[in-house]
Amino acid sequence: MLKYANPTNFLALAGRLIPWLAAATALSLGAGLFLTFFVAPDDYQQGSSVKIMYLHVPSAWLSMMCYVIMTSAALGTIVWRHPLADAAQKAAAPLGAIFTLLCLVTGSLWGKPMWGTWWVWDARLTSVLVLFLIYLGLIGLWQTIEEPAQAARAAAILTLVGVVNIPIIKFSVDWWNTLHQPASVFKIGGPAISGSMLWPLLIMAVAFTFLFLTLHLMAIRNEILRRRLRRLSIDAAHAEEKSEATA
Amino acid sequence: MRSPLSALFWRELRIARSVGGGGAMGVVFFLILVSLTPFAIGPDLNLLSRIGPAILWIAALLATLLGLDRLFQADADDGSLDLLLTAATPLELIVLVKCLAHWIATALPLVVASPLLGLTLAMEPESLAGISLSLLAGTPALTMLGAIGAALTAGLRRGGLLMAVLILPLTTPVLIFGVSSAAAASGGTVPFHIPMLILSALSLASLAGAPFAAAAALRARDA
Amino acid sequence: MTSLLARDLCVDRGGRTIVKNISFDLRAGEALVALGRNGAGKSTLLRAIAGFLPLSGGRLSHTGAEAEIPLPELSHYVGHADGLKSALTAAENLAFWARMLARSDETPSPSSALQRVGLKRLADFPVAYLSAGQKRRVALARLFMAPRPLWILDEPATALDIASQQVLAEAFAEHRAAGGMILAATHAPLGLVDAATLDLGSAPADLGGNA
């Protein structure tokens, strides 16, 4: 494990893993979408609009999982000051923002036929919106601080402060009376959802997870290469200085 | 051959887009301001849809003004402002072009984002169209008025807050007619075009006048 | 421009007269070095001549074919700040200033100006990656991007190494040979041959040793 903490070894490992992960993503996403559209039944109340669930719920899970991964990377940055942790943090923020946006947009599209409105200011929706804002703030922080190691430490601190929002999102539907329905898959006493809907949902969740892992690995790889390019450019600028001075 | 002003325009856009330019942060700030309001006044959708135009306009006002404090400050810090003073191009035109680039980079995204945010405030479709149109017509006035404040405070160490204090009172007419044209779009006694025309007049007047005031302020800067 | 005439220039800052009754003549091909201890008002004088500060007294005039053009538009100013945007490349910065400062449409390419200051290969690097001395050299390369008769230079050799100072001295000689004028403030010798000096008070005279 420690061996892959070296960025060069990591690049080699990522290069080998990414094709397999991409293939797994394509397979599971294909299967999931097929099940969603052709196998999963329409809801007796909601009709076919229930199928938005197969996008909405996995993106909601991923929006939080991404934050948890980013938090562990932030710990890696603060405790070990490891460049790989910095890259993992930076790569996760835009992905998290995208999954959260996907969750908000699909939720909004689902809410219009179900609740008669695009948006309500209840605890679940609001706390997810706050998560989106935290992701945007992190992206802004990454873009503003030019020195990568300094940006990583600042982002890590903000990430760790923002982690209080994650349990609030998870338990908002239990703590407050909301329009949003309570958890139906991960709850005490087993899932409250019929198997014909549960299976497509789980496969979509697996597909989204593979998608996230693929994109995250690719983004980490890009970030490592971008850092190298930056360092080489600065070195080259200074080396050039010497050669032209002696010429 | 490109003229000096188009060179300036593209340079400004490129800087706004680049690292630390803060072009996108204005929209995020706008989004945060809009989503804070329901926390403060409660999630009653009827109430929110009634005051939605006001919320969006106040948020756009603050997002525009707070983004403006770097308009001349960055150039004052790195010495570009001195060099621009030695150009043959009149400073008034330089101010106007900088404002135009700044408006495209920061205010235009607010106009585009406003209908989406209006949805979260349960606003009606006519009202959404009204708010976008009124922001499109009114934000140039905000940018130009803000440019006067930015020019007055360029080179001051803590100019950001002072600039808002100087300029916010001057923006009241824009706010009044902006909100009333957005409100008129969703019904009411006043036809939509009347506040809209006044709003456009305010923008045109500030486009004509503000560059002179801002350029005078930049020249008077004791640096 | 054939000559620059300054008579009894005074500049006030913060209620204090920093520059008092300065007079000098500068003709085509000449150079003038302002000397003085810190706070003697060298920078203030240069900034006033460049048009950034108002004169509180005295008269500044120029003669020659361009007498009707305001003096700032005939001047290059290189001050403590480099006037470069760190997000843009060196070449982009120079190309912008060429468009902004040149009177004609024909400007030299940024890479030839950068070559003169020994930074040609760094043309496409963002300025953020350059060192302080390299940034200063990009700022000085601006002098070559637009022909302007008067160069106003405030401590131009700051952060420059010996080789770059040599390049600067050559550029000065070339500019003066073509009828240009140089007005500089400095603590260090600039390599300006037979430059007149302007003492702004309580300066050790031997700093004028521009051999």
Q: What local confidence, expressed as pLDDT, does residue C64 receive?
A: 83
Percentage of chain C modeled with pLDDT above 70: 94
Q: Give start and end residues of each alpha helix (H) in chain B.
A: 4-17, 25-41, 45-67, 70-78, 80-85, 91-102, 108-120, 125-153, 159-167, 172-185, 193-220
- Nearest CB partner across the interface for C81, out of B4, B78, B87: B78
| ipTM of the shown complex | 0.86
Closest CA to C184 of C83, C37, C103, C76: C76
* A117 chain-B contacts, CB cut-off 8 A: 45, 122
Chains near A with 3+ CB pairs less than 8 A apart are B, C
Domains in chain C, start-ordered, CATH in brackets?
3-204 (3.40.50.300)
Whether B20 sits inside 8 A of C87 (CB atoms) is yes
Q: Which residues 65-124 of chain C have a CB within 8 Å of chain B?
A: 72-73, 75-77, 79-88, 92, 95-97, 99-101, 103, 105
Choose between B85 and B20: higher pLDDT: B85
The pTM for the full model equals 0.83
Q: Count other C-beta atoms under 10 Å from residue A186's C-beta.
A: 9
Q: What is the pLDDT of residue A230?
A: 84
Q: What is the DSSP letter of A245?
A: H
A232, A240, A242, best to mutate vs chain C, most C CBs in 10 Å: A240
Cβ-defined contact of B79 to C72 (cutoff 8 Å): no
Residue B192 structure tokens:
């939509």
CB contact under 8 A, B39 and A108: no
Picking from A146, A233, A241, the nearest residue to C134 by CB comes out as A241
Whose tokens are 């549960």? That residue is: A198
Does any CB of chain C come closer than 8 Å to the CB of residue B49? no
- Check residue C190 and give its pLDDT: 77
Q: Alpha-carbon distance A212 to B145, whole Å?
A: 45
Whether B87 sits inside 8 A of C50 (CB atoms) is no
C16 at B interface, C-beta within 8 A: no
C19 backbone φψ class: left, alpha, beta (φ>0; ψ -120 to 50): beta
Average pLDDT over residues C154-166: 85
Using a CB-CB distance cutoff of 8 angstroms, which residues of chain C are in contact with residue B7?
A: 95-96, 99-100
Alpha-carbon gap: C50 to the closest alpha carbon of chain B (Å): 8
Residue A184 · residue A191 · CB < 8 Å: yes
Quick one: pLDDT band at residue C206, thresholds 50, 70, 90? Answer: very low
**Mean pLDDT along residues C189-210:** 63
Contacts of C81 in chain B (CB under 8 A): 77-79, 82
Across residues C42-48, what is the average pLDDT? 90
pLDDT attached to residue C211:
34
Looking at residue B1, what is its pLDDT?
42
CB of C30 within 8 Å of a chain B CB? The answer is no
The answer to whether C183 faces chain B, any CB pair under 8 Å, is: no
Choose among C82, C85, C99: nearest Cβ to B7: C99
CB of B84 within 8 Å of a chain C CB? The answer is yes
The token duo for C207 is 């700093």
Give the pLDDT of residue A240.
Answer: 63
| The predicted structure's pLDDT at residue A178 | 65
pLDDT in tens, B124-173: 888 889 999 999 999 999 999 999 999 998 878 777 788 888 888 999 99
- Domain boundary assignment for chain B: 4-220
Q: Which of B18, B29, B35 should we substitute to test contact with A (largest number of A Cβ atoms within 10 Å)?
A: B35
Per the model's pLDDT, the better-predicted residue between C99 and B223 turns out to be: C99
CA distance C197 to C190: 12
Contacts of A126 in chain B (CB under 8 A): 35, 38-39
Report pLDDT digits (tens) over A68-85.
999 999 998 889 888 889
Residue of A nearest to C121 (CA): A240
Q: What percent of chain C has pLDDT over 90?
A: 16
Tens-place pLDDT, residues B180-220: 888 888 777 778 888 999 999 999 999 999 999 999 999 88
Task: Pick B35's closest partner by Cβ from A122, A129, A146.
Answer: A129
Q: Using the 8-state DSSP alphabet, how is residue B104 labeled? A: I
The tens place of each residue's pLDDT in chain A, 247 residues long, gives 556 667 888 888 888 899 999 999 999 999 988 888 888 777 777 777 788 888 999 999 999 999 999 999 999 888 988 888 999 999 999 999 999 999 999 988 888 888 888 888 877 888 899 899 999 989 988 888 878 888 899 999 999 998 888 888 877 777 776 667 777 666 666 666 777 778 888 999 999 999 999 999 999 999 999 888 888 887 877 776 666 555 4
Neighbours of chain C (3+ CB pairs under 8 A): A, B
**Which residue in this structure is represented by tokens 């407050």?**
A176
Q: Answer whether residue C193 shows pLDDT above 90.
A: no
Tens-digit pLDDT profile for residues C10-31: 888 878 888 888 888 888 888 8
Task: Mark yes or no for CB contact B20/C79 under 8 Å.
Answer: no
Question: Is residue C209 scored above 60 in pLDDT?
Answer: no
Give the distance from residue A194's alpha carbon to the nearest chain B alpha carbon, in angstroms: 32
Distance between CA atoms of residues B208 and B217, nearest Å = 16
Contact: C95, B7; criterion CB under 8 Å: yes
C163/A245 Cβ within 8 A: yes
The beta strand positions in C69-149, using DSSP E, are 75-78
Chain A to chain C Cβ contacts (< 8 Å): 24
Distance of CA B206 to the CA centre of its chain: 12
Burial of B180 (0-12, 13-18, 19+ CB in 10 A): buried
Overall average pLDDT of the B4-15 stretch: 90
pLDDT at C208: 38
Closest CA to A128 of A155, A108, A157: A108
Can you give the pLDDT at residue A73? 93
Per-residue pLDDT, A8: 83
Chain-wide mean pLDDT for chain C? 84
Comparing A41-50, C119-128, C146-155, the range with the smallest average pLDDT is A41-50
Q: Tokens 């070095």 map to which residue?
A: C33
Q: Measured between CB atoms, which of C121, C128, C161 is closest to A240? A: C121
The answer on pLDDT for B223 being more than 60 is no
CA distances from C207 to A135, A160, A246, C33, C184 (A): 58, 57, 29, 10, 13
